Amino acid sequence: MKKLMWILLALLILSNSVIAQLGIVMDAEKDDYWGTLTGPDDGYVYIPWEAASTTTFPDDDEDLSAFCWLGWDEDYFYFYAEVEDDLLLVNNATTYENDAIELKIDPDPGFESTSGVVAVRLTCWGVDEADEEAGVDNLTAGAEIDPSFVPVEGEDYARKEYDEEDRYGYNLEFRLPWDAIISGDKIVDVAVDGIFGLAINIMDNDESARTENLQWSAGLNDLVWNNPQLHGTVTFLADGKLQLVPVNSAGGPDPLTDPEWYIPPASAVNSKGQTVSGFELEQNYPNPFNPQTTIDFSVKTTGLVKLAIYDILGREIRTLVSETLTNGRYTTVWDGRDNTGDIVPSGIYIYRVDAGSYKASRKLSFIQ
């Protein structure tokens, strides 16, 4: 009887733990948990081509952009990213000169210090694909995280190239033990309402060295590598979520970034998680509409799904969904704005879904 009680207690604790809720597997694929995050307020950020910390900019989102998802449990900090990059290169012996994602972390922003940054980096290629093996970083090449952490591929990190109809790039996924994110006396307060400083770098090598760098931070400045007062603020929330605000918590300089950059484009939300038997694009409602309308659609097989709004001349004016989705019924919302944020004129518009070989479109009416 006593043994049974201990088993039931253990199951109860596990069922209520952050670990049980996340269910993250290090395979560079989008886990179900990542799909529950909605924006910067709970751990999901978009880094567009405009958010460059360098003097040069990518041409557009296809040249370089990224979606990033962040989470936590009592043992690990989790990070997953889907990077759109038209050319992947690891051909420089210096790790940060290659296509990679780099995190700069200030473990304790409340500590009165202008230094103490921990850094990790994961290149888009491993040694089997890289042109320059010395340029590969598997989180520890820069020796900027506690050396007791010896990451194992498939357990602590994973990388994967993707080549889809409209997108090319790579996925990276990794986890970092909190007890390895230390700098001197600085440690992370791993608890709800605790905070740490963070800068996310998306590095782009289009020739033989880094050409551009996109960044989530408060300072939009390459000096995030040694200046924590340029970092944004990350706050621990319940249920494994993290709030990301591109403002420094320790009184750094006024933010140079536009928070609107980091809000993911209108995306699809799995309505009820139910399984569906086929693809379907439903009529929007309400129709006509102002100020917003809802579009439901169903996805049969896993793959890239794009849902966009077009004018009657066939010009794309707003991308609502562009992401990999699994089987299910999804909902997205259009607020009558184009990709620049401007309200479109009244009129008839077409919304179209492309999901592999399935393509369908319907008309809708917007009235100002």
- Domains annotated for the chain, with CATH where assigned, are 22-262 (2.60.40.1190), 269-366 (2.60.40.4070)
Task: Decide: helix, strand or coil at residue 249.
Answer: coil
257, 218 in Cβ contact below 8 A?
Answer: yes
Tens of pLDDT, residue by residue, the chain (368 residues) = 555 444 444 444 343 334 445 889 999 998 888 877 878 989 999 999 999 999 999 998 889 999 999 999 999 999 999 999 999 999 999 999 999 999 999 999 988 777 889 999 999 999 999 999 999 999 999 888 999 999 999 999 999 998 876 679 999 999 999 999 999 999 999 999 999 999 999 999 999 999 999 999 998 899 999 999 999 999 999 999 999 999 998 876 666 667 778 887 765 555 545 677 889 999 999 999 998 899 999 998 888 899 999 999 999 999 999 888 888 888 899 999 998 888 999 999 999 999 988 999 999 999 98
On the 0-12 / 13-18 / 19+ scale of CB atoms within 10 A, 245 is: middle
Q: Are strands 64-72 and 44-47 parallel, antiparallel or unpaired?
A: antiparallel
Residue 13, token pair as written in the block = 């604790």
Q: How far is CA 238 from the centre of its chain?
A: 19
